[in-house]
Amino acid sequence: MTGPEAIYKLVDAEDWRTATVDGAYPGSVVDVRDGYIHMSTADQLDETARRHFCGLPDLLKVTIETAALAALPDEALRWEPSRGGALFPHLYAPLPLSAVRSVEACHVTAEGRLVVEAGA
Q: What is the pLDDT of residues 31-87, one digit of tens each?
A: 999 999 999 999 999 999 999 999 999 999 999 999 999 888 888 999 999 868 899
Q: Across residues 77-101, what is the average pLDDT? A: 93
For the chain, how many structural domains are there in total? Answer: 1
User: CATH no. for residue 69?
Assistant: 3.20.170.20
- Residue among 66, 1, 9 at smallest CA distance from 36: 9
What's the length of the chain? 120
Name the residue range of residue 15's domain: 6-112
User: Is 117 among the domain residues?
Assistant: no
User: What does the alpha-carbon distance between residue 29 and residue 12 come to, in Å, rounded to a whole number?
Assistant: 11
User: Is 105 among the domain residues?
Assistant: yes
pTM: 0.91
User: Is 93 among the domain residues?
Assistant: yes
pLDDT of residue 2: 61
User: Is 1 among the domain residues?
Assistant: no
| pLDDT reading at 101 higher than 90 | yes
User: Is 118 among the domain residues?
Assistant: no
Q: Which residue has the higher pLDDT, 119 or 118?
A: 118
User: What does the alpha-carbon distance between residue 53 and residue 13 come to, in Å, rounded to a whole number?
Assistant: 12
User: Is 39 among the domain residues?
Assistant: yes
User: Is 120 among the domain residues?
Assistant: no
Q: Across residues 95-114, what is the average pLDDT? A: 95
**Percentage of the chain with pLDDT > 70?**
96
User: Is 62 among the domain residues?
Assistant: yes
pLDDT of residue 119: 64
- The average confidence (pLDDT) of the chain is 92
pLDDT of residue 100: 96
Work out the burial of residue 96: count CB atoms within 10 Å of its CB; fewer than 13 is exposed, 13-18 middle, 19 or more buried: middle
| pLDDT reading at 1 higher than 60 | no
